[in-house]
Structure formats: structure tokens, C-alpha cells
A and B are shown apart, each in its own frame.
Chain A
């Protein structure tokens, strides 16, 4: 068979099709890049606006001082500590339950009506609005369990709220460990628990911790659940005192404080609500940054 004659133009000439293709590619890239950048804009705008408006009040004194002159002046210490209490206590309850339940569901449980019911419950609980959790906490902890309006009731309510998400994120972290690792362990006669301890947990711990830490910011930010169950408008507390509350006391909380300052208190100094928002946002960002740092640190040790 004779060879085909050489093409008149170079094999690498830009045909109209190539030109169109490249143009489409450039447009697509530009659109995606703009969208990615647009995501940053609101965050920067919000943070800048908040910090500028809050500037006159900001400083260590603002965190350490107590509210003064009918909440129109002074700091946010009782609310700050209150939020620490609520978040810490709620995660103390929800983390062990959530992580252990997730290990059971992902590593032990077989597909049965029981696990299906649990799965359904987890998925649905995760989608329940916080105000519904608040009402549940009010009925269950404040009244039925007779814990009253207290830190305990509020923290338990927050725990119920964060639990399903912790279970879901932990399961995801566990599921990301390749099945082949588990099978290799089973093949040499390891029990499920030996497998979990030696291989599954060490390789999913960063994901598990990230999931838990992200719930810190959620628990700190929610207003409704604590407002219904234990957070109050004002609570007299000594300035800078670390342990001002007992478990059965009511407390102040940052999210609730922000809400009351912004809507309920007349003649409040203009910068105060903004400064409260900055502290809340700052704490949440700090916690998230810790989560990211932890993740990077643990992933550097990830072994495959």
C-alpha cells in the first residue's frame, strides 16, 4: 500500500477546533478561579467590619472584665467562662459516647435491623434544627430529669446536638482506613479489637479528632439550646475568676450574650456587641486552626 501524501500543513497547526477548545478551557478556568476567590470575600469583609467596629472595646481587659453599668459597659468574662464550661462539659459527654458508638457501628456491627435503626437515628438527629434540640433539652433535662435551668442541662443538650455529627465524622474517619489492612490482621489471627488498636485507630485518629474539634465551634456558636436550658441574661461573677460556676448554676454564654447585647439592652456602648462577636469568632477560628494544625501534624505521621 502506498504511503499517504504528506499533509500540506504541519501536523501541529492550530485548527479551529483546537482554538475553540483552548478558549473554552480558559473561560472555564477563569470562572472557577473567580468563584474560589469570591468565597474568601465575605469572610474578609465580615472579619474586617467586625474588627473595625469592635476596635475601641477590644483588648485583654474586655475578656477579663465583668459587664458593668447594666451591661452597657465593661467586659464579657462571665460569658466567656460560661461558654468554656458549656462546650467543655458537652464534649466531655458526647465525645466518648460518639466515638465508641461509631467504632461499634463501623467495626463490629453487622447489617441488621438494629444497626439500620441506629443509622437512621444518627442521620435524622444530625439534621434536627438546634431549636428543636433546645426544646428537647428543656423537656428532658430541665423538667423530666429535674436538673433545672443549669449548666448541666445546657451542656447535656449541646451534647445531644453534637453527638450524631461526631458519630458520623468518626465513622467516616474509620471507613477511610483501607479494608485490606483489617483483612491482613485477621488473616494472622488478630481479633477485631487487636486490629482496631494496632491499625485502625492509629490511622484514623486525626480524622476523629478533627471531627470532634469542629463540633467545639458548633457548640460554642449555638444560642437556642443554651438559652432554653441554662444560659441567662446576667450573672454576677468576680472579675477574672476561673471557676465561678457550679454544675447546677445558671451561667452566661457568649452566643447568648451577643444576642442580648444586640437586641435587648438599651444604650449599650456601640462597640460592645461587635467586640463580643470578635471574641466568639476569634475563639472559634482558634479552635479550627488547632484542628487543622493537629491534622497536618498527625497526617505527617500517617503511614501509607
Chain B
């Protein structure tokens, strides 16, 4: 572990139910500062729901009930006084690219504006920095005033990442960011992530086990709402993995 063992996110005994169906059955894990933690597992294993608990956007789902504790930087997310500040601390990238129906510039400037920045002189550098970090700047720098929704799927996904970076998060969560984009764009984003890990902690939820293997320091295997195994990525992807299920999953035997 290159980055030491400062815990950025601590999840303890997290249980989550939608109405009466429990989808996460008490999971416990930590995310260390400046690591890339990959979360792998088949569909319906609770990966996305877990992310939504981190920044409490789960609150918007009326049927969701959850217990256990989630701490971000030592602070219990359910006791936090400013949930909006919590959400700004975490950059969230959804599976499908969501260009807001605004201009490219406004897409990235939206979050800073929401937190009170209005001067163009303050916003311009943020927009440029985020678009550069998301490897999109060169393609759009001459048409920042055109619509974000008019971009191609891969560009929109990078725009989504730029927007997630625009509020200067300390943690970046990516939820299967590559399912709707081509391999070349995926590689470009992966390169961008390797750069970003110097500045922030990254939680990478992915269906592509090889992507987890390429990028992450540690890998968490989540299956049907339970942690099967959490270990260094090279362990998970080797015969040394403790669980037979893990070995089968990463080798494509099931799932």
C-alpha cells in the first residue's frame, strides 16, 4: 500500500432495504486515502446502492431504509450537519453518461455555482482544470457554449467526470463508468484516473474484472449484498484468493 492507512471511508455493518427487501446484508469495509478500491460483483449485488449511501442520495429513494454506520473522513454521514457539503466532498459518476441539458461550460460550472461562486474569473479556471483532468478539454475547448447533450456518448461520460470533479471532491466514485462507451475512450478515462489518484481516493465500481485488475490497489468482491472478499488486487486475482467463489468469479467461471 503506497498511501499508508488513513481511512477515508469507513463502512460498518451497513444494511439497506428497499421496502421489505434487504439488498445489503451488513457489510463492513474501509477505503484508504489515495487508493483505488475496485468493487466488483454481478448485477443486483448492491454495488450502486452502497455508493448512494456514501453521499446520502439514497435519501431521495423514499422506500430505502438503512442501518449501520458510514463515516467519511471520520464523520458519520447521517449526523453531518451539511449534507450538501458531504456530497461535494464525493464526486459521483453514474453508469450512463448524463450531460445536463446545459452548455458544456454550464455543466461543469453548475456545482461551483450551486455553492456560491458566480464570478466568471473564478469559474473559468475550474472549468478548464476539470475538463483537462477528464481528458476532454482539447476536444471541446472551442465550443464550450454548445450543448453538453449534443456530445457523443464517450464525450458525455468524460463531461460527467469533469462535473464530478468540479466541486473539488476528495473522493471520486465511479459506478460502471464504461458500460456505455467504447474501449478507446475507456482507456483514456482509465489513464485520467491514474493521474487523479495522486490527488484523491477513488472507488471504482465495475463489471469488468480486468478493469479492476488494471487499475485498483485493492478489490472488494460483493455478492448478493455481502462482502465475499476484500484484499490486495493481486491477491484477489491470484490462486491465493481465500474464497473459491472469488477465484471462480474473476476467472469467469460464474457470474
- Give me the interface of A with B, judged by CB distance under 8 Å: 110-111, 180-191, 194, 198-199, 202-203, 302-304
Contacts and interface: CB of A to CB of B under 8 A. Distances in A.
Nearest to A182: B60
B92 interface: yes
Give the interface size bracket for B toward A.
Answer: 20 to 34
Given A180-B94, A188-B167, A199-B100, 12 more contacts: A181-B101, A184-B100, A184-B163, A185-B114, A186-B57, A187-B55, A187-B94, A188-B92, A188-B163, A189-B86, A194-B114, A303-B102
Nearest to B88: A189
Given A183-B60, A186-B57, A191 B114 contact: yes
B176 to A, nearest CB: 14
18 contacts: A180-B98, A182-B60, A183-B57, A183-B98, A184-B163, A186-B60, A187-B55, A188-B110, A188-B114, A188-B163, A188-B164, A188-B167, A189-B84, A189-B111, A189-B114, A198-B102, A302-B101, A303-B147
A304 B88 CA distance: 26
Contacts of B84: 189-191
A173 to B, nearest CB: 14
A191 B111 CA distance: 10
Given A111-B62, A303-B147, A190 B114 contact: yes
Q: Which of A110, A181, A203 has the most CB of B within 10 A?
A: A181
Interface of B: 55, 57, 60, 62, 84-88, 91-92, 94, 96, 98-102, 110-111, 114-115, 147, 149, 160, 163-164, 166-167
Contacts of A184: 94, 98, 100, 160, 163
A186 B61 CA distance: 12
Given A184-B100, A188-B110, A304 B87 contact: no
B152 to A, nearest CB: 14
A190 B223 CA distance: 32
Contacts, number: 74
A245 to B, nearest CB: 44
Contact of B149 (A188, A191, A304): A304
Contacts of B92: 187-188
A120 B99 CA distance: 36
Contacts of A194: 114
Task: Determine the main DSSP class of A at the interface with B.
Answer: helix
B88 A188 contact: yes
Sorted nearest first, the 10 A-B pairs with minimum C-beta distance are A303-B101, A188-B111, A187-B92, A189-B87, A189-B88, A189-B84, A304-B149, A184-B98, A190-B114, A180-B98
B33 to A, nearest CB: 21
A116 to B, nearest CB: 13
A190 B111 CA distance: 7
A78 B107 CA distance: 53
Contact of A199 (B96, B101, B164, B166): B101
B160 to A, nearest CB: 7
A188 B166 contact: yes
B98 A188 contact: no
Contacts of A185: 100, 110, 114
A105 to B, nearest CB: 14
A185 B160 CA distance: 11
A17 B92 CA distance: 55
A189 B94 contact: no
B170 to A, nearest CB: 13
Contacts of A110: 62
Most buried by A among B85, B86, B92: B92
Contact of B85 (A183, A189, A202, A303): A189
B101 A202 contact: yes
Give the interface centre of A189, A190, A304 by most chain B CB atoms within 10 Å.
A189
B94 A183 contact: yes
Contacts of B88: 188-189
A189 B115 contact: yes
A114 to B, nearest CB: 13
A198 B88 CA distance: 18
A174 to B, nearest CB: 14
Contacts of B96: 180
Nearest to B86: A189
A198 B92 CA distance: 19
Nearest to B55: A187
A199 B149 CA distance: 13
A303 B86 CA distance: 29
A191 B82 CA distance: 11
A56 B115 CA distance: 66
Nearest to B63: A111
A304 B60 CA distance: 24
Contact of A186 (B85, B87, B149): B87
Contacts of B62: 110-111
A33 B6 CA distance: 71
A189 B85 CA distance: 7
B223 to A, nearest CB: 26
